[in-house]
Amino acid sequence: MKGSGGGTHKAHMFENPRNVPSRRSFLKGLGVGSALLPLLQYEEAFGACTAVPGPKRMFIMVWSLGMLGGGDTWATTGANWVLPTQMASLAPYRQDLLLLDGLDYDFLKDMPGSGERTGFAAFPGMLTGAFYQVLSSATAADVAGGISIDQYVGLGLQARGYPGLVSLNLAASSRSGGLSWRAAGQPVLPDQDPVHVYATLFGSPTSSPPPDKVLAMRKSVLDYVAGDLNRFVTKVGGTDDRARVAAHLQNVRDIEQVLTEQMALTPSSTMCTPPVPDPLISPISHADFEKVAKVQTDLAVAGLAADATRVVVLQLGDQQDAYIFLTSLGFGSGLTDPNTGATTGSINDIARRDGPDKVKTDTWFMSQVAYALGSLKGVADGAGTMLDNTAFLAMNTMRTGAGRETVGVPAIMAGSCGGYFKTGRSLSLTNTPHNGVLVALGNAMGIPTATFGETRYGGELTVLKG
């Protein structure tokens, strides 16, 4: 793999003649994580008279068992391209979309040795673009052949002076890892527990506050910091900064309220010592899948808005069996598989057959993409929105659930990443290794990348730039 996350520059390229406290030093003294304060404009460009562009960000969403059923259609191409019915929720973001139909997972087709070659085996190479070592027929124990793009970009940003998290890896129900890798043999397991994610972002002090403040923090993390934070921004920030802080605080408080009401986060919960979930056992029931997916998306967007991380991976289900019962969609546990006669509510069984149930399932997953895009677009960022400065990518393990094809797989991109990608288009691709998309993500994020994964699959998919 060519390209490097190396190179350095100072995180803040200006002196501080007014001797005002920096954002980082303020937060360190306050004893809380950096996610409690959005990126302040004055630190990005001291003395600037106009809004400056926000930092570039990357958000990858992955689910399994196909974006399409055998009878479904993908968006048309050409100047007047049209979204199919199951993608109708994406219509408000038409000018932000870059739809790709026809990516090939060549790392599976060409991989030496024996083993599964369908979409059920895609996870270890989807974000690495590399051959991997097959250790079990179930693929859960397989070892990726290299670093994944999320870790590559996150580590590259840190090498250039960015002080936040390498990445925020999340899941809504997962029984296995295998998607994100720090290196071959070093999986990055997704955090499935929204309460733990919240504590990681907003409630992990770097120092020990007084006992009375511990009690206050147990009642509400925001009640502990909001007053100090607002006084700070009043001193050093402008009108835009105050508005951004207010919006950020409200967003985090809304998330906290959801966790309190729906995720059993009581006032007595100790955010200083968050629970550590078993990475192989989902901490939620199947019926909770939808609300966990939503709150994980909210947490992802809040973390990006706060500049606590610039890279997010959100996994919706597993690589082989999504292990979900979408009860609120009316599937419940009373579905009868027409092939076997078995009663089931598993999306795995739904996805393997074409028909209204598969369309309904695909429509729901597309609504999750739309929710993420709307959340990103709802955050002001520089002269535009956070979506404008983000490279969003929604991927699946296969083209259709019934066919399990790893050739001609659709993908949804959105956001121009600061003008790098030309959006508002729907592209039909042929003989296109997906590695070119991974290369493009690295370059769009400012981490020079010549190839990614297997070098035989070439460089950047330049058509994404227009």
Kindly report, residue by residue over 192-234, the tens digit of the pLDDT. 888 888 878 876 434 444 444 433 444 444 554 455 555 555 5
The architecture that CATH gives domain 52-193+279-465 is 3-Layer(aba) Sandwich (3.40)
What is the tens place of the pLDDT at every residue in 404-444?
A: 889 999 999 999 999 999 999 999 999 999 999 999 999 99
Query: pLDDT digit string (tens) for 84-109?
Result: 999 999 999 999 999 999 999 999 99
Residues forming beta bridges with residue 165, ordered by sequence position:
309
* DSSP 3-state of 332: coil
Q: What percent of the chain has pLDDT over 70?
A: 61
CB-CB contact of 108 with 454 (8 Å): no
Query: Residues 368, 453, 137, CA angle at the centre, nearest 5°?
Result: 70
Residue 41 parent element (H or E): helix 41-44
Closest C-alpha to 192, from 267, 288, 328, 332: 288
For range 299-304, the mean pLDDT = 90
Closest to 123 in 3D by CA, of 167, 74, 189: 189
Residue bearing the bigger pLDDT, 4 or 264: 264
Query: Can you give the pLDDT at residue 417?
Result: 98
Q: CATH 3.40.720 in the chain, residues? A: 52-193+279-465
Looking at per-residue pLDDT, the higher value among 373 and 295 belongs to: 373
| Per-residue pLDDT reduced to its tens digit, 309-328 | 999 999 987 765 544 545 44
Give the type of residue at 40: L
Mean pLDDT of 37-46: 38
- Containing 335, the helix (H) or strand (E) segment is strand 335-336
State how far the Cα of 353 lies from the Cα of 123, in Å rounded to an integer: 22
Terminal alpha carbon distance of the chain: 25
Task: Report the chain's mean pLDDT, rounded to a whole number.
Answer: 74
The pLDDT score that the predictor gives to residue 219 is 44
Task: Supply the pLDDT for residue 194.
Answer: 85
141 or 237: which leads in pLDDT: 141
What whole-number distance in Å separates Cα of residue 180 and Cα of residue 191? 12
SS3 112: coil
Round to whole Å and give the CA distance between 148 and 369: 22
Residue bearing the bigger pLDDT, 296 or 339: 296
Helix (H) or strand (E) segment spanning residue 445: none
Q: Contact 129/152 with Cβ under 8 angstroms?
A: no
Residue 355: C-alpha distances to residues 68, 96, 296, 383, 401 (Å)? 11, 30, 29, 44, 11
